[in-house]
Chain A
Amino acid sequence: EDQVTQSPEALRLQEGESSSLNCSYTVSGLRGLFWYRQDPGKGPEFLFTLYSAGEEKEKERLKATLTKKESFLHITAPKPEDSATYLCAVQAYGGATNKLIFGTGTLLAVQP
Chain B
Amino acid sequence: KAGVTQTPRYLIKTRGQQVTLSCSPISGHRSVSWYQQTPGQGLQFLFEYFSETQRNKGNFPGRFSGRQFSNSRSEMNVSTLELGDSALYLCASSPDLGMNTEAFFGQGTRLTVV
Instruction: Point out residues on A near B: beta carbons under 8 Å.
Output: 31-32, 34, 36, 41-46, 49, 51, 87, 89, 95-105
A22 to B97, CA, bound (A): 28
**In the complex, chain A residues whose CB is within 8 Å of the CB of B90:** 43-44
Interchain CB contact under 8 A, B43 and A99: no
**In the complex, chain A residues whose CB is within 8 Å of the CB of B50:** 96
| Closest chain B CB from A17 CB (angstroms) | 27
How many residues of chain B are within 8 Å of chain A by beta carbon?
Answer: 29
Q: Would A46 and B102 be within 8 Å (CB), given that A96-B55, A100-B92 are in contact?
A: yes
Chain A binding site: helix, strand, loop or mixed by DSSP?
Answer: loop
Instruction: Point out residues on B near A: beta carbons under 8 Å.
Output: 4, 6, 31, 33, 35, 42-45, 48, 50, 55-56, 58, 90, 92, 94, 97-98, 100-108, 110
A32 to B58, CA, bound (A): 19
Interchain CB contact under 8 A, B104 and A99: no
**In the complex, chain A residues whose CB is within 8 Å of the CB of B42:** 102-105
Q: Would A32 and B45 be within 8 Å (CB), given that A45-B105, A96-B55 are in contact?
A: no
